[in-house]
Structure formats: C-alpha cells, structure tokens
Amino acid sequence: MLQHVNTVLVGKNCPATYTNADALSVGDVALFDENGAIISTNAGAAAAKSIKVGVAKSKVSVTMPDGSVASKANIEFSNVISKDHEVKFVKGTYVAPSQDVINIDLSGATIKAGNRYVLRVVYKDLYEHPGQFTHTYEVIATATTPATLASAFAAKISKHMNRRVVATVSSAIITLTAMVKDDNEGVNSINEYTVVNMEASMYETEPASALNFNAPAAIVGAVITKTPGTPGKGYWKQVRDAEVRNMGYKGHVFTGAYPEVAQEKMVDPTKTYDYITVEYYNNYLSSDNQYIKHAPFTLELFVEAGELASSIVEDGIKSFIAGKDVTV
C-alpha cells in the first residue's frame, strides 16, 4: 500500500501534438512546466525546473474582461514534481485478470469402493479474521474407477449454492476454476475489487468397520496442481478503486455515504489502462522554522492502453528526470 501523499489521474488520450491548454479535449493528458505553460517537446521537459501532469476535464465558461464569454480549459493537476527531489518513474502496461485454476488428477489414483473421499477447498482472500474459510465436499466411492469418483465430486460441487468455484470433469481430472466475484460491479461500487485465492487438498478414510476408520490418509496416485490467477494490472476496477481512495485527498472521506456525493470518476468500464507511477519528495519548513524536511508524494496516472507509448507524456517525464531528451 502506498504511504505517500497520493494523486490519481485518469486520462483518455496523449495527443501527438500540443498547442495550448484550451485546445485540449476531455481526457487529454499533458505536461506543464513551472510557469504553467504546456510542454510540447522532450527538450522542453528536460529544461523544466519542475513539472505538473494534468488531465483535461469538461471546459468551463469564463467571463473575460471585455464582457465576452469564453470556453476555457479545466485541468486537474498533480502536485508539483521538482527535478532535484529524487524522482522515480515506473511504467506498467495492461495485464488482463485471470482466475485461480486447480486441477485434481485422479487418473493414477487407487480408488477403494466404500471409502470416504474428502475434497477441501480453502479460500484465503478474506481480509477479516480468521483470514480464510473452507468448503468441504465428501463422496463415498461406489466403484474403483477414478473417473466415477471425479464425476461424483464435480456433481456435488455444482449443487452447492454458495460455491465459489466452477467444477468441470474430463475423464478422471477435476478442474476447479475460481468464480469472478460479483459484489464489486459498477463505477460506484462501495466494495473494492478482489479475486478468489484458493488452495485444495484431498484425502480418504476407511469405512467405520476398519480398525483405523476416520483416520485421514493420502490418496495414492492423486496429483493436485494449481495455476495461480492474477488480479491483473490496469483493469478498470483497479483504476476505479484508485480513484475512490484518492477522494480523501480531495475532501471526500465518506466513500459509502448516502445519498451519493462523490466526485466525478473518469474511469471507463469498457476500457483497459496502462499506467505510470511517479514517486518523489517535496520540501517543507519544519514547524519551528529550523529544518527543511521532506514529504513523500506519489502520482498514479492511468491512461487508456496504448496511448502512453512514445508519447510526450511518457518520454517527457523520462526526459525531465534525465535532464536531456531521452529519444535522441
């Protein structure tokens, strides 16, 4: 989790050329120098003493000194980024989310008719105590064929109303695919985006007539493999949550308030995003006027996928940090 004073900006486009701020369209991303002038070249970025990143919002009507009304740019800015304050830059590209998948291969397992077989799925994506919970499925083997047992488990899981996995079977292989959580849909969801994180295990016990009945034993020949999923990077729900967390810096601290009083969100659920993270420090004078102290800041910039590549925004920030045009 970021522990810096944070700014989150969400844009649509990085224009190929710039003229002035008033010419920017909604969602356009631009760099501005210490004088508030728009930066249109990498050389200009390299020469700047400080920069701000800005995203154009809907234009506002301004009454000019001569009484006329003009449509002027409405820019949401980052905090000032000074060149000599340990600026660090990271760029990331969109990665699609995927779900955990567990394969339970019983093809080589020795199945004993009459034995009790237990499949336990442990879910570890809880943030509250105790941090995990378990769904347990039990089947009494009616035959010695692994495929029969696999089908029985898939059928039992599929009948579970509160299951968090989709169970499919192919021959003697059970495939458990984590289900997508549906409690965080929509731009205005008060629940943050998370994904299912799970592990699985299996064991068997002897019938009650056996001497060691109910003692769990490993299933000889069973093989369990997991392909971990990923929440993704630049997924729109992650961008939405970053915007919501940033609202506290804009004075909106009750994100679950009713009626809805949140600021406008720029995220588009139909888009995917690349992103830039800039970490830096700004100086301030201590309360006793004796020391210059450093405050850590972070800028998270999300732009629709593909827009950052070879743009003045990406190359301009790199040139600003390097003090020279990085494309030359």
How far from 179 is each of 104, 123, 139, 175, 189, CA to CA, in Å?
A: 17, 12, 23, 12, 19
For 238, residues 6+ apart whose C-beta sits below 8 A from its C-beta are 193, 231, 232
Q: Residue for token digits 């201590």? A: 286
Residue 163 structure tokens: 């299951």
Query: Strand pairing partners for 72?
Result: 60
Cα–Cα dist 7/3, whole Å = 12
- The end-to-end CA distance of the chain, in Å, is 36
DSSP state of 113: T
Give the pLDDT of residue 256. 65
Give the pLDDT of residue 1. 43
Cα–Cα dist 236/279, whole Å = 22
Residues of the chain with pLDDT under 70: 1-3, 208-211, 255-262
Cα–Cα dist 173/236, whole Å = 34
Q: What is the pLDDT of residues 160-199, one digit of tens each?
A: 999 999 999 999 999 999 999 988 999 988 889 999 999 9
Q: What domains are there in the chain, each with its CATH number? A: 5-95+234-322 (no CATH), 101-227 (2.60.40)
Cα–Cα dist 194/204, whole Å = 33
Q: What is the pLDDT of residues 2-14, one digit of tens each?
A: 567 789 999 999 9
**Residue 276, exposed/middle/buried by CB under 10 A (0-12, 13-18, 19+)?**
buried
Give the pLDDT of residue 280. 92
Cα–Cα dist 139/118, whole Å = 7
Helix/strand/coil for 37: coil
Cα–Cα dist 106/145, whole Å = 9
Cα–Cα dist 21/31, whole Å = 10
Amino acid of residue 230: T
For the chain, how big is the Rg over CA atoms in Å?
Answer: 28
Cα–Cα dist 10/124, whole Å = 31
Give the pLDDT of residue 145. 96
Q: What is the pLDDT of residues 250-269, one digit of tens each?
A: 877 776 665 566 678 899 99
How many residues are given for the chain? 328
How far from 152 is each of 51, 155, 160, 301, CA to CA, in Å?
A: 63, 5, 13, 49
| 245 membership: H or E segment, kind and range | helix 236-246
